[in-house]
Amino acid sequence: MTKPAILLVSLTLLFTTTWSQNITSKKTVIDNPADISITSNSTDLPFFTSSADAEKIVTSIMSAMGLESDFKIKEAHVPNVEAKIRHHERYILYNPQFISQVNTVTRNKWASIFILAHEVGHHLDGHTLLDINSRPGIELEADQFAGFVLCRMGATLKQTQLAMYYIANIDASKTHPGRADRLLAIEKGWNKAEAEVAGVRDNGSTSN
Ligand SMILES: [Zn+2]
């Protein structure tokens, strides 16, 4: 491609951008690392294959935070998954093909549960109120939130990080951090929740 053509494509992208916080960059190709195999543990949450499944999962995510869920989850023509506010309502919009690909390659329900938790994180962290697009800092905050809540929901650290091996690009971009930083943010959130649980356990054993 010649330089003027690249410039034209870049300008087109620039002017067609709307405010949104996607789980991953728009041009992500879902990776298929061969060496990752994790078995699901005994959670009664469904695989995310429809909006109804997603609602159950999001209700469970919110419940793990002690909150009621008021999110609207809809199929949409979006690149992957995104959090948005429309008419004062909190939406999670998803591309069913993207979710189906994630389910197929990961063969583990925690991958798409993580993806939903990441979008819930954008809402709860207030990112969707700011009229800003994805950028590395807020993506890491949403990843950390998702790590925290999946630990509370009973996922192991490996299950919690699984999606990132498939959907995160290795290198950082203007909108999204690189894979290693995202895995670290997830681990930070997961460890925080684990430490809280351990703290409650320890206090319980000393005071009783
Ligand atoms: Zn995001």
What confidence tens digit (pLDDT) does each residue in 59-106 have?
A: 999 999 999 999 999 999 999 999 999 999 999 999 999 999 999 999
> What's the one-letter identity of residue 190?
W
Asked if residue 204 belongs to a domain, the reply is no
What confidence tens digit (pLDDT) does each residue in 167-204 have?
A: 999 999 999 999 999 999 999 999 999 999 888 777 76
Asked if residue 147 belongs to a domain, the reply is yes
Residue with tokens 């990961």: 106
Q: What are the backbone dihedrals phi and psi of residue 135, each rounded to the nearest 5 degrees, phi first?
A: -150, 155
What confidence tens digit (pLDDT) does each residue in 8-52 have?
A: 444 444 444 456 778 888 777 787 765 555 554 446 899 999 999
Number of folded domains that form the chain: 1
- What distance lies between CA 89 and its chain's CA centroid? 19
Asked if residue 104 belongs to a domain, the reply is yes
Residue 203 Cα to ligand 1 midpoint, Å, equals: 35
Residue 196 Cα to ligand 1 midpoint, Å, equals: 25
5's CB contacts (< 8 A; 6+ apart) are none
Asked if residue 13 belongs to a domain, the reply is no
Asked if residue 190 belongs to a domain, the reply is yes
Residue 200 Cα to ligand 1 midpoint, Å, equals: 31
Question: For ligand 1, a single-atom ion, which residues have Cβ within 5 Å?
Answer: 21, 139, 142
Asked if residue 28 belongs to a domain, the reply is no
Asked if residue 10 belongs to a domain, the reply is no
For residue 158, the enclosing domain spans: 48-197
Asked if residue 8 belongs to a domain, the reply is no
What pLDDT is recorded for position 116?
98
Which phi-psi region, left, alpha or beta, contains residue 198 (left: φ > 0; alpha: ψ -120 to 50)? Answer: alpha
